[in-house]
């Protein structure tokens, strides 16, 4: 297998992720025929088919699935080696690939980017916004260096460091300002607007509404893709919602809504940074996490 190349492994990884030659070739910035040729050469070198192909889709063979697992380990090891080299060289120029969940990104990123680039002159910062499961996957595959998520993620391969804890607040139309804040039991009977499936914030809000897993869910759920949409729906009189404290300044700046705190015990979430335990940049990531936590406390 001396003829296998790093590019072939990266092309194979891209095709595995996208499941489509056209999308994979775009991600790799090469032509589709060139990608197909490299995958074919890889299959010939390995002596077995990696993908089943038909006119509409491709899928990994059982052999291809085993190769995919080993390819991720190979590429992660190479990324960690690159990180080790960066840490050893020192200097001011280095790359940081950071992921952020959508319910944090709009409220933290502007100050985060400004503060980090000021703290580390020459920092080449790459930001990725997506849901927690995808961030964890990309961390483990070596495509991200660290991520800001709601804790815990309970992933044995990752180090977790707390940045801050914040309350959830109750959002209702401004005309209802002054009315008693509903209890979690009363909230289950209201028309509750939440983020769509897949957002950890949705599950946290539902957990507050339901004291135990067997309790009935809120009777009338409406889903949105962002906190901004939720607040706009509340302003339009479609229901009520919960948002984290971090989002209050931006999301309520021009919306005719009322914000209120829940009675104790209030719903909360803990936001933290995570990174691979194997990363040679762990000391630098700890420094960054400590800096970000202090920056948020000063907001």
pLDDT in tens, 119-158: 777 778 889 999 999 999 889 878 899 999 999 999 998 9
Please tell us whether the domain made up of 165-268 is placed in CATH 3.40.190.10: yes
For range 260-284, the mean pLDDT? 90
Lowest mean pLDDT among 1-5, 230-234, 286-290: 1-5
Indicate the length of the chain as a whole number: 299
Check whether 65 has a pLDDT greater than 50: yes
Q: pLDDT of 208-217, one tens digit each?
A: 877 433 444 4
For range 4-28, the mean pLDDT? 87
Helix (H) or strand (E) segment spanning residue 271: strand 268-276
Q: Where in the chain is the domain with CATH 3.40.190.10?
A: 92-164+270-297, 165-268
Whole-prediction pTM value? 0.74
Give me the pLDDT at residue 128, please: 93
Check whether 21 has a pLDDT greater than 50: yes
Give me the pLDDT at residue 228, please: 93
DSSP sequence for 57-96:
-EEE-HHHHHHHHHHHHHHHHHHHHHHHHHHHH-SS-EEE
Look at 74 and 246; give whichever has higher pLDDT: 246
Q: Which residues contact 289 (CB under 8 A, 6 or more apart)?
A: 146, 161, 163, 272, 273
Class of domain 92-164+270-297: alpha beta
Q: Where in the chain is the domain with CATH 1.10.10.10?
A: 6-83
So what's the architecture of 6-83 in CATH? Orthogonal Bundle (1.10)
């Amino acid at each position: 297998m001396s003829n296998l190349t790093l590019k072939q492994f990266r092309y194979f990884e891209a095709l595995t992720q996208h499941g489509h030659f056209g999308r994979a070739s775009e991600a790799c910035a090469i032509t589709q025929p060139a990608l197909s040729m490299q995958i074919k050469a890889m299959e010939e070198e390995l002596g077995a088919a990696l993908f089943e192909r038909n006119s509409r889709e491709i899928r990994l063979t059982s052999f291809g699935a085993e190769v995919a697992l080993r390819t991720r380990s190979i590429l992660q090891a190479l990324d960690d080696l690159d990180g080790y080299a960066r840490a050893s060289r020192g200097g001011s120029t280095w790359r940081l690939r950071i992921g952020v969940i959508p319910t944090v990104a709009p409220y933290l990123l502007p100050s985060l980017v400004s503060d980090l680039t000021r703290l580390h002159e020459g920092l080449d910062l790459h930001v990725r916004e997506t849901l927690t499961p995808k961030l964890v996957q990309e961390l483990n595959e070596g495509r991200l260096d660290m991520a800001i998520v709601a804790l815990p993620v309970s992933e044995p391969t990752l180090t977790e460091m707390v940045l801050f804890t914040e309350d959830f607040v109750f959002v209702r139309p401004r005309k209802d300002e002054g009315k008693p804040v509903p209890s979690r039991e009363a909230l289950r009977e209201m028309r509750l607007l939440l983020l769509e499936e897949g957002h950890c914030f949705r599950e946290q809000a539902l957990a507050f509404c339901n004291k135990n897993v067997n309790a009935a869910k809120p009777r009338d759920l409406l889903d949105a893709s962002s906190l901004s949409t939720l607040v706009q729906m509340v302003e339009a009189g479609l229901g009520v919602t919960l948002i984290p404290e971090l989002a209050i300044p931006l999301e309520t700046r021009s919306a005719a809504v009322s914000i209120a705190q829940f009675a104790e015990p209030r719903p909360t979430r803990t936001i933290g940074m995570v990174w691979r335990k194997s990363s040679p940049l762990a000391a630098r990531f700890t420094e960054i996490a400590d800096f970000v936590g202090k920056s948020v406390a000063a907001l």
